[in-house]
Homo-oligomer: A and B are copies of this chain.
Amino acid sequence: MTALFERHLTTLQGAMDAAAKRDYWSAYPEIPSGKIYGETARDDGLAAYEARLGKQFEIAGHPAQSSVGVEVSPYGPSLGIGYPSASVELLVSASQAAATQWAAAPAKARIGICLEALSRLNARSFEMANAVMHTTGQGFAMAFQAGGPHAQDRGLEAVAYAYAEMTRTPAQAIWTKAQGKGEPIVLDKHWRVVPRGISLVIGCNTFPTWNSYPGLFASLATGNTVIVKPHPAAILPLAITVEIVRQVLAEEGFDANALLLAADTMGFEITKDLVQHPATAIVDYTGSNSFGSWVRANAGKADVYTEEAGVNSIVIGATDNFAGLCSNIAFSLSLYSGQMCTAPQNIFVPRSGISTDDGHKSFDAVAAGIAGAIDSLLSDPARAAGICGAIANPASLARVNEARSLGRIVRDSAPIEGLDDARTATPLILSVDAAAEAAYCEERFGPVVFIVAVDDVTEGVNRAAELAERRGAITAALYETEEASILAAADRFAKAGVNLSVNLTGGIYVNQSAAFSDFHVTGANPAGNASLTDTAFVANRFRIAMWRRPAAA
């Protein structure tokens, strides 16, 4: 029952240790190298992906009444994959039928199954990379990392936190209360983890695995049965995930319906019915603020964990490495064409310019420096394709076109050469004054960037932080050389619940959030009400029940 737990114990201990220390640590190599994953892994992964295309995705033993699926790669081709589809009632009843056995499993059995599944997912990272690439539009390297090892690390992190919480209270204890000169009262007490019910995980289009794995694995580990509701445009990565986890469940003698796929189609989503179903006890949601607001208001007694959206900002006060600043920001803005929830949208720059190692730079010179760095970064079309990828949602492309009139164009967006069937767009950069709030104070998801003229760094920090408090923000960045100004910004952004990166000029970017060290989203502003992964993310996914009796004499 706990052989899998023993097999992966070193990994679990590594994760728990890393989460406590918060130094760099990873269980799953992020480099898509044949030396690590096997010399044929790249080709095998591509072949496995291609073998899925144009076929029915069969999941053994999964409830199915019909087939759905109309995924189209942002790079052009239709995937043509059909997925098992079942009514909400059928999914819920299958989930409930699996619940008693799953809840009764020892925590170590559930943890072992989660760890084995993550290990198998890791071995399938090349296949997953293709699946993620062609549902999200991410470039291959990013799809491998964010869809594969980084998502697996986030899943492992949730499992580690869940294990720590489930074992915080002992399973048994003797309670001895002295009674003066009389015999003490001695009770034998037993505690157990009681799961909450059905856990619904609602995936998003852009990071189907990375954003879903924490909730999925945290809920499974704590004994809840899970229904995964993928975005209709990004089903495949989660279907592969569900298939792999179910295989482990079945091998270990559990009802594989402890994890179900709730595939649906655009325009016929079953999400609301799942959220409102009285059997739903937990909802993990990644997506827009508008639907997130609906979920929070309509989930009834279910606990809701959200990552919604926000407006992320960079504030530039001064730098001792102007070239590094420009190239670092250029990469952050270009990566996946601004479709990361952590990507900056607004760059606040003093209208009188900034001091740098390369002398004073005017507002326009700062804007031109960043724009030029993007031009340089994306000058080679193949590299541009790898960094920017494609645009997941046609609406994001439309937003780029609409945004052109919102300010003075510093750098225009353009399609990427050589990706003729794909939806692509390099960053559009506009300059505006701080007064033009209608332009930059709402989220314009995709490659749209505003360089906003402010009086000074303090105004920039305040505007960025207030915007975070009002509309949400997941990241903030600051370039500044005065220590007092840095510490004041750290205070201000902490109060706004935004994680801040200061003076990044090398190979690390504000968009990046590392499992076991960086908490993703604070839960303290409208960009989300939960954090990946802290104790609060797992501790409510189960309850503790006790029974006690007088200890045998």
User: Chain B: which residue is nearest A183 at the CB level?
Assistant: B506
Tell me the chain A residues, 187-229 only, with Cβ under 8 Å from chain B: 187, 189-192, 194, 196
How many copies of this kind of chain does the complex include? 2
> Do residues A535 and B539 form an inter-chain contact, with CB atoms below 8 A?
yes
Q: Which residues of B contact A540 (CB under 8 A)?
A: 536, 540
Query: Contact mask A525-553 → B, CB, 8 Å, 1/0?
Result: 00001010011100110011111111000
Smallest Cβ distance from A215 to chain B, in angstroms? 16
Interface flag for A490 (CB, 8 Å) = yes
A interface residue count range (under 10 / 10 to 19 / 20 to 34 / 35 or more): 35 or more
> Do residues B549 and A522 form an inter-chain contact, with CB atoms below 8 A?
no
Q: Knowing A22-B173, A185-B507, A536-B540 are in contact, say whether A500-B550 is a contact too (CB < 8 A).
A: no
Interface flag for A519 (CB, 8 Å) = yes
Tell me the chain A residues, 49-96 only, with Cβ under 8 Å from chain B: none
> Do residues B539 and A20 form an inter-chain contact, with CB atoms below 8 A?
no
Q: Which residues of B contact A546 (CB under 8 A)?
A: 499-500, 518-519
Q: Which residues of B contact A174 (CB under 8 A)?
A: 23
Q: Which residues of B contact A454 (CB under 8 A)?
A: none
Interface flag for A493 (CB, 8 Å) = yes
**Alpha-carbon distance between A178 and B517 when the two chains are bound, in angstroms:** 15
User: Chain B: which residue is nearest A540 at the CB level?
Assistant: B536
Smallest Cβ distance from A322 to chain B, in angstroms? 16
Interface flag for A291 (CB, 8 Å) = no
Smallest Cβ distance from A486 to chain B, in angstroms? 8
Tell me the chain A residues, 472-530 only, with Cβ under 8 Å from chain B: 486, 490-491, 493-495, 497-508, 514, 517-519, 522-524, 529
Report whether over half of chain A's contact residues are helix, strand or loop; otherwise say mixed.
mixed
**Alpha-carbon distance between A499 and B192 when the two chains are bound, in angstroms:** 10
**Alpha-carbon distance between A26 and B422 when the two chains are bound, in angstroms:** 67
* Shortest Cβ-Cβ A-B pairs, 8 listed: A502-B549, A494-B545, A524-B543, A536-B539, A500-B547, A24-B177, A535-B539, A490-B547
28 contacts between A and B (CB under 8 A): A20-B168, A21-B170, A21-B173, A22-B170, A22-B175, A22-B191, A23-B174, A168-B535, A175-B514, A179-B507, A185-B506, A185-B507, A191-B519, A194-B495, A490-B547, A499-B546, A500-B546, A500-B547, A501-B548, A502-B547, A504-B550, A508-B550, A518-B546, A518-B548, A524-B543, A531-B544, A539-B539, A540-B540
- Other than the given A179-B507, A194-B495, A522-B544, 13 more pairs (CB < 8 A) read A22-B173, A22-B175, A185-B506, A189-B517, A196-B524, A499-B545, A501-B547, A502-B549, A503-B550, A504-B549, A518-B546, A523-B543, A536-B539
